[in-house]
Chains A and B, each alone.
Chain A
C-alpha cells in the first residue's frame, strides 16, 4: 500500500536544468508532490551528463539524469516562443510551485518573471536556485562547481598548506543547494497556509556552501584570524591516511579514551608523553604520522572501521568507494536504495532515501521521464489541448 505523501496536494513545475534545481524538485516529488518536469525540446542539458548506462551516450541513458529526476512526469515546452510562454502561464495557473535555475533576468526577459507569475497565480511559490542569487553585483556572473567552491571560502581551507587549494570531487555544492531549495520551498508552502500568498524564494549556491562553514567563519569575526589549510604532514589526525587497501581518518573523542585509541592502533609508543595531548601530537606530528602509518599498513579499512566503531567506540571513518557504498550493509538495512525500472535503461538500483518519516515516508513511484513522455497526458488532461493541437504544437516547435 502506498502511504500518503507529505506534499500530496502540491503541484510543481520544474523548469530547472542540471543538478541543483532538479534535485530540489526531486526531493519534493519523493515526498508526494506531483512534479512536472518542463524541458526544452532538446532536453535538460543534464541528459548529456555522464555516467551513461553501459557508456552509451544517449539522452535517455544518463544515469546522473535518472537519479536527479525520479518521480517526475516530463513534458517539453519551448519557453522562447510566444505560444510556449502562453502555455506556461496556463500551467502556472494550476500549480503551486515553480522551480527554476536560469540566469537571473532570463525569465523576466520572457515575460515569465515572478511579478508576472504572481499576477496569474498569487499563491505561486517561485524557487530560484542560481550560482550567486538574484541580486547583487555577481548575480549575472557565470557559475560552475569550481567557482562556487572557490567563492564560498571552502576551497581556501581544503587541501594542504604546502599546495594549491582543493575542491571537492563530484558536485556537492549543487546537491547541497538542491536540498536548500527543497527545504526553503517547504517552509514557504507552510507559510502560505497562513498567509495564502506565494513568495519568490532566492537560493544562492555560493551562499549555501558558505553557510556550511559555521565553524570556520567565526575565526575571523571573533579573533581576526584567517584560517588556512592543514599541514600535509603532522596535522595530528587531521589528514586522511593510507592503510592496506584504502584510506582512513580518525580523531579523538566520541567516547573513546586515549588508552582505547592506543589499544586500537596497537603501538605502545603512542602512550608516551610526546603524544599525550592534541598540541603535542601536532608538535610531534611527523613522527605521529609515521607511527600510525606503520601501525595500519597491513590492516584493511573495513576491518578497522568495524573494530574501531564496535570495540573501541572511536570516531573513525574510511574512504568508501562507490562499490563499498553499493554493498554497504547499513544502507541496505535502512532501505536507502530503491530498485527503479526505467523504460530504456531497465532495472537498476539507485540511492534514494534521504531520511525517514514515520507517517509520510519518501516513496519511489515512477522512473525519470523520457523526453516529452507525458506530453499527451499533461497537455490533454491538465490543460485542454487535443491530440491534433499537440501535433501542430510539435510542428511549430513549441513542444
Chain B
C-alpha cells in the first residue's frame, strides 16, 4: 500500500479522490491549507503527497519548501486545475516529481501515484507542452549547457507525451524500453529543477504578460 497525504482546499474534491483511488493506495491524512499540511506531513511521513498547486495560504511550493529538508523521502505530485504555466513550473522547480490535471481518470491517478512513489517523474500532456515551450530550441550557452537544453531524444519523448501517448506506447514507437523512456522523463525533470536557465524566468515572465 502506498501511503498518501492529500492536500487540497476543496473538501468536495478531496472526497472525490478518496472515493476514487484504487486499493493500491491508502489515504492516511488530509489537509486544506499550508499551515495544516506541514505538521501533518511531518508527523505521518507518507510516501506521496498529492498537492494542490493553489492553497488559500500560499502555493504548493510553500508546503514542499517547509518539509523537504526534514522529510526528504516524501515525494510530491502536483495536482491542479490551474492553467497558468508559471505556477506549474514553479511547483515542479520547488521539488514536485510530477504534475497532473484534476480531470485525470482515477485509474491514471493511481498509476501516477505509484510511479511517483517509485521515484519516477509523471508528466501530463499539458506539463509536457509547457516544458517544450520553456526549453525552446536554440541558443544553449554557458558552462551548464547540458542543463540548459533538452536532447533530441528527450524532446521526442516529451512531444509524444504531449500528444497523449503513454510510456508504453512511446517505448514501442521509439523502439526503447519503458525504463529508458522513464529515464528520459526523469532527466527532463532534473533539468527543469536544476537549470538556472534564464530562459525559464524570462519565459514565465512572458507568459504572465500575455
Say if A and B assemble together: no
